Amino acid sequence: MSEARSPGASSPVPPQRRSRRRLLIAGAVAAAALAVGSGTAYFVHDAKDASRDGSAVLGLVLPDLHGQQQALAQWRGKVLVVNFWATWCAPCREEMPEFVAVQARDGPKGVQFVGIAVDDPDKVRTFAQEVKLNYPALIGGYGAIELSKTLGNELAALPFTIVVDRQGRVAHTQLGPLKRATLDGLLARLLPQA
């Protein structure tokens, strides 16, 4: 199912092939449903459809470190990398310097990272200074874990990252560290060619 969540993860997919791919996925879902019992088709289907549409992510509004409400919709049209993290999550902290580097490199090309911290503002502020965070750190508090569950983070663990493409579709969801090679591959596919 992780493939279904990020169709075309390996190569650029023109729109006409995307619909064919969708058919293929639908066929695979139908076959799986036949194999294990028709009642399961809804479960698989719901998960896939919910993950393709990025409007739930783009609809989020959360306060930043200055207490200003920030709507993720302001970055619609960019490749948006939304990372749920916390200072109490060591793997989250370890991958963030990479995100800072990629934001600096690809920000001008249309990438926008946004961190949603499942944490207290004070700890976030300290860590943001430490890694010279160059993208918004929004404060979700512990409630942000529940929020991430509605976006597909079924195990409610961190880090959890969602990549939304320029058309507002979820291109990739990642539980656990987002490897630099995966991130670079995604951005090469999702950003306009120079």
Partner 1 sequence: MRSLLPLLAIVFATAHAEGIASLEPKLLPPERAFHLSARALDASTIEARFDVADGYYLYRDKMQFTTDPVPAAKLDLPPGKPKHDAFFGDVETYRGEVVVRVPLAQAAAGKTITLHANSQGCADVGVCYPPNAQQLTLAIPAGGKPGPFVEAGRKGLFQ
Residue 181 engages partner 1 in binding (rule: CB under 8 A): no
Looking at residues 123 to 152 of the shown chain, list those that interact with partner 1 (rule: CB under 8 A): 127, 130, 142-143, 145-146, 152
Residue 39 engages partner 1 in binding (rule: CB under 8 A): yes
Residue 121 engages partner 1 in binding (rule: CB under 8 A): no
Which among 53-61, 80-88, 98-106, 180-188 is the span making contact with partner 1, rule CB under 8 A? 80-88
- The DSSP bridge pattern shows strands 79-85 and 160-164 to be antiparallel
Residue 194 engages partner 1 in binding (rule: CB under 8 A): no
Residue 58 engages partner 1 in binding (rule: CB under 8 A): no
C-beta separation of 7 from 25 below 8 A: yes
Distance in Å, CB of 173 to partner 1, minimum:
8
Residue 186, phi then psi, degrees to nearest 5? -60, -45
Residue 138, phi then psi, degrees to nearest 5? -90, 150
CA nearest to 75, candidates 115, 125, 110: 110
Residue 31 engages partner 1 in binding (rule: CB under 8 A): no
139's tokens: 């404060």
User: Residues 6 or more apart from 153 whose CB is under 8 A from it?
Assistant: 84, 145, 160, 173, 175
Residue 122 engages partner 1 in binding (rule: CB under 8 A): no
Q: Which listed residue (90, 132, 150, 193) binds partner 1 by CB under 8 A?
A: 90
Report the residue count for the chain.
Answer: 194
Residues near partner 1 (CB under 8 A) are 1-2, 5, 36-37, 39-40, 43-44, 47, 86-94, 118, 127, 130, 142-143, 145-146, 152, 154-159, 175-177
